[in-house]
Amino acid sequence: MSNIEALKKEIVETVQAANDMQALETVRVQALGKKGKVTDLMKSLGQMDPEQRREMGQALNRLKDEITGEIETRAAALKRKELDERLQTEKLDMTLSPRPEQQGSIHPISQTTEEMITIFAEMGFTVAEGPEIEDDFHNFTALNFPPEHPARQMHDTFYLPDAPDSEGEAATRLLRTHTSTVQIHVMQNQKPPIRIIVPGRTFRSDYDMTHTPMFHQMEGLVIDKTSHMGHLKHCLTVFCRKYFGVEELPVRFRPSFFPFTEPSAEMDIGCAVNNGKLEIGGGNKWMEILGCGMVHPNVLKNCGIDPEEYQGFAFGMGIERVAMLKYGIPDLRTFFESDIRWLRHYGFGPSDQPNTALRAE
């Protein structure tokens, strides 16, 4: 019996001395494996007389259980230790910059949008938003695009699979092709007077130096009882002069066509090309900058507003386009390539203020 006690002490000591799972497995095999010390003693039971065999058998089984228990306890401790070590060495400090040598910057789209909002806010406009997934009504019909009108094709619309509308009817869904859709949402839900701007993403299936399938527009809408074309011209002239920081910036309005405005116009700003470089202001060239006009009576009617009582103006421009002109960015596609070198060059610091040199008096 004392043999067994001695053996137990010896094995338990080696178990506790095992410093990793591999060492522990070796100890287990040496004790309980086919040729292990406990197994050898088991084998010797055959030569004993029955009385001794029973006693010895019970003692050996107990020993086996005890050793197995010791090994399990040790294994659990070793696993915990291993895990602790891994947690220590594989620790990630999530607050550290993954690439300390590189710094993010504010994208020109965000900066330009902020600048535009700042100028219009000074003129009393508030910011409105609307959904990017639209139906045919908000994108076309309510904006006075007749059915089958070629202007619907002009927009290179991305259509989505039809989905049931609130009445369970299959309805056309699309990615909005312009922010003019938000004119409709606002007029349906808000009583005039209305004075909003709408910065947002728009989508058209087109891709080259001056087109990307996703781009940004800024829409404007003013509805009240007295606003007229003179207000429209003044408002947009002030905007362009402040945005480009050129006090005497020449502007002109050319007649144009949009289904949702009557009359419609396109606004140009004066510019010059010197040594291949575009300069805003002065010069003898004109650069188209935006579309605008007086809101068509049909659009007001489609939104439940009486055109006999109310009138107003609207305008829309591409945010990338005005950013490219102001900051001399030649290729629209580069806005969305996430090239850190491009961002470092054209991006803005977090403390840069919206750059609107000529502010409201």
Contacts with ligand DAH, residue ranges (CB under 6 A)? 178, 180, 219, 258, 261, 291-293, 314-316
Return the number of the residue (18 or 317) whose C-beta is nearest ligand DAH.
Answer: 317
Residue 355 CB partners (closer than 8 Å, separation 6+):
111, 115, 245
Peptide bond into 161 cis (omega under 30): no
Beta carbon of residue 293, minimum distance to ligand DAH (angstroms, whole number): 5
Beta carbon of residue 170, minimum distance to ligand DAH (angstroms, whole number): 27
Q: Which residue is nearest to ligand DAH (CB)?
A: 316
Beta carbon of residue 314, minimum distance to ligand DAH (angstroms, whole number): 3
Beta carbon of residue 119, minimum distance to ligand DAH (angstroms, whole number): 17
Beta carbon of residue 178, minimum distance to ligand DAH (angstroms, whole number): 3
Return the number of the residue (43 or 301) whose C-beta is nearest ligand DAH.
Answer: 301
Strand ranges (DSSP E) for 62-181?
A: 126-127, 133-135, 159-164, 170-175
Return the number of the residue (270 or 316) whose C-beta is nearest ligand DAH.
Answer: 316
Closest CA to 331 of 195, 156, 208: 208
**The two three-digit tokens of residue 243, written as one number:** 């945005």
Residue 320 CB partners (closer than 8 Å, separation 6+):
109, 212, 215, 216, 332, 335
Q: How far apart are CA 212 and CA 176, in angstroms?
A: 14
Pairing status of strand 126-127 against strand 194-203: parallel
Return the number of the residue (105 or 177) whose C-beta is nearest ligand DAH.
Answer: 177
CA angle 292/279/198 to nearest 5° reads 30
Return the number of the residue (103 or 188) whose C-beta is nearest ligand DAH.
Answer: 188
